Structure 1
Amino acid sequence: MRRKVPMRRHALPAIGAAGLLAFAVSALTFQGPAFSGQAALSAGSQTSASLQIPGEEEDGGPTQPADYLTQKFTSGQDVTPAQIKQAVQRSKALKPGSGTWDLLGPSNIGGRVTDLAVDPAHPDTLYVAASGGGVWKSTDAGDTFEPAWPNDNTQTVGALTMGPDGTLWAGTGEANPSGGGLTYFGDGVYKSTDGGRHWQQWGLTDSAAIGKIVVDPTDPQTVFVAAAGNLSGSASERGIYRLTNRGKDWKLVLPTPNATTGGVDLAIDPTNPKRIFATLWDHQRNSGRRLYGGVGSGLFRSDDGGETWKRLENVTGRHASDATGTGLTSDASLGRIGVAIAPTDPNRVYVISGNTYGADKGFYVSDDGGDSFAPSGRAGASSGYEWWFGRLWVDPKDKNHLFNADVNLRESKDGGATWATSSGPHSDQHMVQWDPNVPSRVYLGNDGGVYRSDTDGATRSWIHGTYQPFNQSYHLAVASDDPTRLASGLQDNGSHRTWTATAAPSDLMQWNSYGGGDGHYVVIDPSDHNIYYECSQGGSCTRHEDANGTTRNIRFGTRHSSRITTDAPVVLDPSNPSVVYFGGNVLDRSTDRGTTFTQISPPGDFLTGPVPAEQDDPGSYGGMYSTITAISPAKTDGNTIYVGTDTGRLWKTTDLGATWTEFTGKGLPVRWVNSIVVDPSNADHVYVAYSGYREGDNAANIWETTDGGNSWKNISGNLPNAPVEMLAYDQPSDQLYAATDFGVFYDKNGKKNWKRLGAGLPNTPVLDITITGDRKTLYAATFGRSVWKIALPQQ
């Protein structure tokens, strides 16, 4: 095959993708003073940064065509928290146009719950933190929930607790790192003194993610926070912080040894609140590689209320899971650590640890308050995702009864010597809490929402709530002839639809499953809505056909890629829906709706480039980078296809793959290509959206060509500084819509003067948008607040 590569004209420094990566992560790799084994650490203090706001055009956009956050790569300066705050302010300054967003569902599934707090003063009352979904309140023992968090606040909440005086403390930003998908960061700690009706921002705005919050049971003004930091970017507030001066000032009491380490877990002795356990976690990622362990990880204890700390690493013997034999000592293999104290015997301390790539490293038990630990049973179930969990919970009335987070909920009744699975709830456990008001009642939060057991978590005793509208949607599809027929791929909840094989939608809040795993791309055939598709992680895809009251399921045929990303794109040809395109590291084409495929791009790394060494993941997510991430066939020319990759490469073929033209370098950013939209009336008119989120770059990047890629212009204009996740184009009205991490915006006639679409959409990332066939409605799939709809501006 012949390759046509036009002359490259770089707007950014011509240092290539690998150079940009090294530049982006340089701030994450400097080394501070190392911890010594049993050294006592003194308290530190926090600093703040100032911001010089760039000038603006009359329309409110940045003075340069590219978003000012790209200064990170042209001036060598990191994106600062103040710049991100400015992006939020810019987003809010774009006043919404007419119309109000309405929740569409689903409400019956539930999404990832990162934390929960039971209210001891009010029966059947609890609060939960939903990843990307804010804080929710239930007054009926977890059956139904109502929002207890402002829509305008960032919706990503990673930690939640209630103090002895009833004050709620919430930490924004999720400390659970991503595997194949994404987690999002926040803007510090909030508190509410009226049951979640009102919230006040309470500092630590540069913590990025909060792993845990604990409150002194004897002094509600003393609060400890585990600040985890930013996986891919800089965050100045990392480590363990204590609130002092009667609730006014945060003090860094356990600093971190380097810029990739943060706090992730805390436990406070209920009988002696001066004794606190804390864990630090050294972890980072870029577009392709995840290093979820390092020398900064460790377990610590303070016996004087956080003034000084001692590293705990005295392990007697070696756990069978610990391949290195290094236990809890500082080591490159030490990953996430969880710690829990038995309320009935505070000298009983449990610890769970994983290694850099997520395998169990060890489960340990102490009966002397942490002075020494002994290896015990295998708490995990060999899931390989310990970075996703790292939590233990002890029964408040029985020190030998405890749970461990894993894919399945792991239970021990003999102090951790042996373990079994408590079956029934959804997978991926994140939080357990017993109800002090009801004997044997325990609540569980996981990737499927909230569950309750009234028999101490006995297997198959878990009851799922009925109204939990905080799902995380990756993708969305709507039938071109029926705006009530929708499908969505949900994080760890498979693919769901609004109809069944025998019935049309009746209640759009009640969706039903038609595919498992992590739901990703979903597609409905525009010529026949009884034919539809779904994919789970890594491109495991199925075609479904409804007929005569039953559904026939046909798995996709053999494809030819050696690497496939988690969110592998599946696209139908807009002029012939029998033609299906699938992207891995090569482009496959099917003419029989996915039954068989033919490779139409050159073999190997032609389109994507090889995996750079610094992006190569040796763990369980290896082979998922340097792949195709966006495919867009032209409607007016079935031989023309545009393709983008996670390595920032952009291509076009006009002869169905016989030859390819590359646009990388024509002033375009070297960033993950999220979305490509080809004008349905003109194959030379194309929009492309990029994201640098995994590299710590939050710049908005939307580019347009009107001459088939010979020249490009940045049309980001006054968009807020946030990655653009998806584009949708209404050609008859020449109106472009952009789904971003700060909401949905639209631009008419290419004027670069973006407006916010409607009011009332919660402030959570929007990962997909779809326009109905009648062009009257736009649907938005949010990553934490389910699916919403709004009437489109009719101009």
Structure 2
Amino acid sequence: MIALLAAVLAVVPSAHAGPSTRWDNIGPNGAGGYLAFAKDVAYVLPGAGQQVFRSGDRGRSWRQGRPFPEMRGAALAADPARPDTVLVAGYEGGGGAGTVLRSVDGGLSFSVALRTPSEVQDVAFGGAFSYAASAEGVYRGVGGLTWSLLPGSPASAEDVQVVGSDLVVAAGGVVHVLRAGKWSSVDVPADKISSRGDVVVARKFSGGVHLSVDRGASWRAVSGPWTSSWILYGGITANGWIQVQTLDGHFISADLGATWKRTDAVERVDVYTEIGSFPDMPDWQWVYGSGGVYATADHEHFKRVGVPGAHVLALAVSGRSIIAGTMQGSYRTDLPVVAQEWDFDGSAPPAIGNRIGALAARDGVVLRGRNGYRGSQDTIFVERSLDGGRSWVTNAEMPGNTRSLVFDPVVPGRVYLGAYLVNAFYVSLDGGLSFVQRVHSPLRGIKTIAADAGGIWLADAGGLYRSTDAGLTVKQVLPGRMNSVLVDPRDSRHVVAVGQNSVFVSFDGTSFVEVPGVSAEQLSAIAMSPSGVLYLGSISFEGSSKGVLRSSDGGRSWTVFGGPDVERGVESLLVSSDGRTLYAGTVSGSVHRRSLG
């Protein structure tokens, strides 16, 4: 089973990056999302809901679409007859209005096809028509265009399914059916509906699962070996299996609910959100669960699919391993990267408490700062790997969250750990096995620590600070919010501090000159190549950012080095030791690679 899954999802290697002006999305496949299939094309809309990923080779590789125009998606559908036509349902930020976006280039770009007064919660294709469910009722379009509200359609529509020549809708908490031009309602609880042939399954979180074998004309309640009334998932898959997930576990029935089999799905992929299949492979199902997207043939054995849409907070290289810290754990793969699928540090990460905010590597040792919870307290867990990020051991824990870990370049065993949510940072003298706290009342939250032979620099929400005694005392050098700081390893007098929109540069280690207006977007991480070229990330929370900026004069001036592939924003940057490759950890596009020649 595992070998077959691996063969189905094998990734075709690509060549090592040569000189190029474009970015390559190299993974990791660290995001799940809502699913749509048409012929041999798969689409995934990650939970962030701001772009679509497309695979034309059944999940072997993925192409990232451009960010949506001022809208967050909540559902998508692909036209079975025209696989490159895709609809996304969602809402516009701030006003509560709804939108349907339409793409005819396989999700690469979208335009607004329909605007509604309230959020659009679902879209579907059926026959020659397309449908959208919203608070006003059900809209019908032709190929995703020329929409109009269906007369008599129920208000508060949440989910729409085309079942043969009929329409079955979850609206107002119950089932509604459009048959032969007439609407009828049934007192069957429903917020989600799925169908196969004439069989329809309706489920509601607190209302159970109900089954119809005549396209919604009559219904019966589904019962099984569970006692919980909270339905986490309920539906029918393309091969005819009824699936129910409750607080008691995950159950499958191959005979319309007559008998049931319990699976280990909850332990392996956590809570199901959606299941989908390629039309010609109904027995192979993709599951969107809390841990991402997985492929399975029995809901006992799973192969992680995912899409390269992870939020990458940190990057590190150790030996032949490159490691990415994300919102759901860390991933690693060998250099040079040839596949979007990387090794994952767990099979089913918890929904909270597995955010990797910082990474540091030296001499075969990798440290990571994992932001989680101990009880109700925000806690940093410092974990150590001696095998390039393949396995981890927890060494220490302390209050706060972290975005910065750094080895002292001079003193063996000394490690600095930045913290926010507490006015302190931490110092280790034994290589990260234990830490002591350095409390300083002016600190408001450290984003980055940079170390040199003379001490450390702290980029803090309250300013740039300097310490020359391992953090026993700190002195403010610059006021204002600082997001990052870098010391030139070739000359410690050259320091670059990054504010919200400005850059501050020093060439004597004491006085700084501001370079204002570097970007209208928030500036983030900074990195330097061996030759001294600087790269700076930017993040936009509305629209698109410049992605990456570049400076060849030590930070005095900057030019755009980004592009549409990284315009959602860059959280972390890493230049290879040979200076030939730049890696950018993005907000929702995993890691992008660009050749530097």
Taking a change above 3 Å as real, the CA distance of residues 264 and 390 of structure 1, as seen in their structure-2 partners, is: farther
Structure-2-length-normalised TM-score = 0.70
Decide whether the 8 Å contact of 1:676 with 1:686 is kept in 2: yes
Decide whether the 8 Å contact of 1:777 with 1:789 is kept in 2: yes
1:442 and 2:285 are equivalent in the alignment: yes
Among candidates 504, 519, 543, match of residue 384 of structure 2: 543
Deviation (angstroms), 1:449: 5.7
Match of 1:364 in 2: 208
Match of 1:590 in 2: 428
Aligned pairs for 1:622-701 (under 5 A) are: 628-638=445-455, 640-644=456-460, 648-650=461-463, 652-654=465-467, 655-661=469-475, 666=479, 668=480, 674-678=483-487, 681=491, 685-690=495-500, 701=501
Decide whether the 8 Å contact of 1:739 with 1:768 is kept in 2: no
Letter in 2 for 1:351: K
Cα deviation code 1:576-629 (max 9, x no counterpart): 462222225231110111111111114xx7634xxxxxxxxxxxxxxxxxxx45
Decide whether the 8 Å contact of 2:102 with 2:111 is kept in 1: yes
**Larger strand share, 1 or 2:** 2
Letter in 1 for 2:299: T
Letter in 2 for 1:523: L
Aligned pairs for 1:190-589 (under 5 A) are: 190-193=101-104, 196=106, 200-203=110-113, 212-215=122-125, 217-220=126-129, 222-224=130-132, 242=139, 244=141, 247-248=144-145, 265-268=158-161, 270=163, 273=166, 275-278=168-171, 299=173, 338-343=191-196, 349-352=202-205, 362-365=206-209, 392-395=234-237, 401-404=242-245, 411=252, 420-423=262-265, 426-427=269-270, 429-438=272-281, 440-446=283-289, 450-454=293-297, 458-464=298-304, 471-479=310-318, 485-492=321-328, 494-498=330-334, 511-513=342-344, 517=349, 518=354, 520-521=356-357, 523-526=359-362, 528=363, 530-538=364-372, 539-546=380-387, 554-559=393-398, 561=399, 564-565=400-401, 568-576=403-411, 578-582=413-417, 583=419, 585=422, 586-589=424-427
Match of 1:780 in 2: 584
Distance between the aligned counterparts of 1:590 and 1:339, measured in 2? 52
Deviation (angstroms), 1:350: 1.0
Decide whether the 8 Å contact of 2:35 with 2:274 is kept in 1: yes
Decide whether the 8 Å contact of 1:269 with 1:275 is kept in 2: yes
Aligned pairs for 1:30-49 (under 5 A) are: none
Match of 2:3 in 1: none
Distance between the aligned counterparts of 1:577 and 1:373, measured in 2? 70
Cα deviation code 1:242-286 (max 9, x no counterpart): 3558854567899xxxxxxxx9952335257555225xxxxxxxx
Decide whether the 8 Å contact of 1:102 with 1:789 is kept in 2: yes
Cα deviation code 1:498-524 (max 9, x no counterpart): 27xxxxx79576744567844624534
Q: What is the count of residue pairs matched by the alignment?
A: 541
Letter in 1 for 2:24: L
Match of 2:9 in 1: none
Cα deviation code 1:452-475 (max 9, x no counterpart): 444xxx33244555x965555332
Taking a change above 3 Å as real, the CA distance of residues 408 and 462 of structure 1, as seen in their structure-2 partners, is: farther
Decide whether the 8 Å contact of 2:86 with 2:107 is kept in 1: no
Letter in 1 for 2:276: Q
Distance between the aligned counterparts of 1:212 and 1:709, measured in 2? 58
Secondary structure in structure 2 of the residue aligned to 1:761? helix
Is there any run of 5+ residues in structure 1 with no aligned partner, and where? 1-97, 178-186, 227-237, 255-262, 279-297, 316-336, 353-361, 500-504, 609-627, 691-700
Secondary structure in structure 2 of the residue aligned to 1:593? coil
Match of 2:14 in 1: none
Distance between the aligned counterparts of 1:208 and 1:711, measured in 2? 50
1:599 and 2:420 are equivalent in the alignment: no
Taking a change above 3 Å as real, the CA distance of residues 374 and 522 of structure 1, as seen in their structure-2 partners, is: same
Secondary structure in structure 2 of the residue aligned to 1:534? strand
Decide whether the 8 Å contact of 2:360 with 2:406 is kept in 1: no
Match of 1:103 in 2: 24
Letter in 1 for 2:435: F
Distance between the aligned counterparts of 1:746 and 1:406, measured in 2? 51
Structure-1-length-normalised TM-score = 0.54
Deviation (angstroms), 1:151: 5.7
What percentage of residue pairs aligned between the two structures are identical?
Answer: 17
Letter in 2 for 1:727: I
Taking a change above 3 Å as real, the CA distance of residues 554 and 452 of structure 1, as seen in their structure-2 partners, is: closer
Letter in 1 for 2:434: T
Cα deviation code 1:510-566 (max 9, x no counterpart): 74456784462453434x2x111234442333222359xx9996532353x2xx33x
Cα deviation code 1:471-502 (max 9, x no counterpart): 553321135xx6x5422224435332427xxx
Secondary structure in structure 2 of the residue aligned to 1:525? strand
1:162 and 2:162 are equivalent in the alignment: no
Decide whether the 8 Å contact of 2:174 with 2:188 is kept in 1: no
Taking a change above 3 Å as real, the CA distance of residues 188 and 702 of structure 1, as seen in their structure-2 partners, is: farther
Taking a change above 3 Å as real, the CA distance of residues 496 and 376 of structure 1, as seen in their structure-2 partners, is: same
Cα deviation code 1:684-716 (max 9, x no counterpart): 9442344xxxxxxxxxx3442649899884633
Distance between the aligned counterparts of 2:137 and 2:564, measured in 1? 35
Letter in 2 for 1:772: S
Letter in 1 for 2:572: D
Deviation (angstroms), 1:157: 6.4
Decide whether the 8 Å contact of 1:740 with 1:765 is kept in 2: yes
Decide whether the 8 Å contact of 1:299 with 1:312 is kept in 2: no
Deviation (angstroms), 1:726: 1.9
Letter in 1 for 2:497: Y
Distance between the aligned counterparts of 2:323 and 2:108, measured in 1? 35
Match of 1:761 in 2: 565
Secondary structure in structure 2 of the residue aligned to 1:111? coil
RMSD across aligned positions (CA): 5.4
